[in-house]
């Protein structure tokens, strides 16, 4: 499996560290609902098909990116930069 790092280009996925489901959104700081925080930490949709997930290019530029990947075929649809510099990389 290969992922295309926004900085470094296509690289073997061994250079990257998987950081999990990218759709889990941290509730706002003033949100005191236990259910919302529980859902953020523990509940996952775990789809068979397209999955948006975070990867970090740990053995390269160390940037985070959101990968859209098919969990049944391992086909990578897109790799988008994420974080403060994401807009400049697009």
Binding site for another protein (CB under 8 A): 1, 12-14, 17-18, 20-21, 34-35, 38-39, 41-48, 51, 53, 69, 71-74
- Taking the complex as a whole, the smallest distance from the CB of residue 27 to another protein amounts, in Å, to 14
Between residues 21 and 80, which has the closer beta carbon with respect to another protein?
A: 21
Between residues 25 and 84, which has the closer beta carbon with respect to another protein?
A: 25
β pairing state of 76-81 and 64-70: antiparallel
Residue 56: closest CA among 40, 85, 79, 78: 79
Spatial separation of the C-alpha atoms in residues 42 and 17, rounded to whole Å? 20
């Amino acid at each position: 499996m290969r992922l295309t790092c926004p900085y470094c280009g296509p690289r073997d996925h061994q250079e990257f560290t998987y950081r999990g489901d990218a759709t889990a959104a941290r509730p706002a700081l003033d949100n005191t609902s236990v259910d919302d925080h529980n859902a953020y930490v523990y509940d996952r949709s775990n789809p068979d098909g397209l999955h948006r997930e975070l990867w970090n290019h740990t053995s390269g530029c160390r940037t985070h990116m959101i990968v859209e990947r098919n969990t049944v075929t391992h086909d990578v649809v897109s790799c988008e930069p994420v974080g403060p510099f994401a807009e400049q990389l697009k």
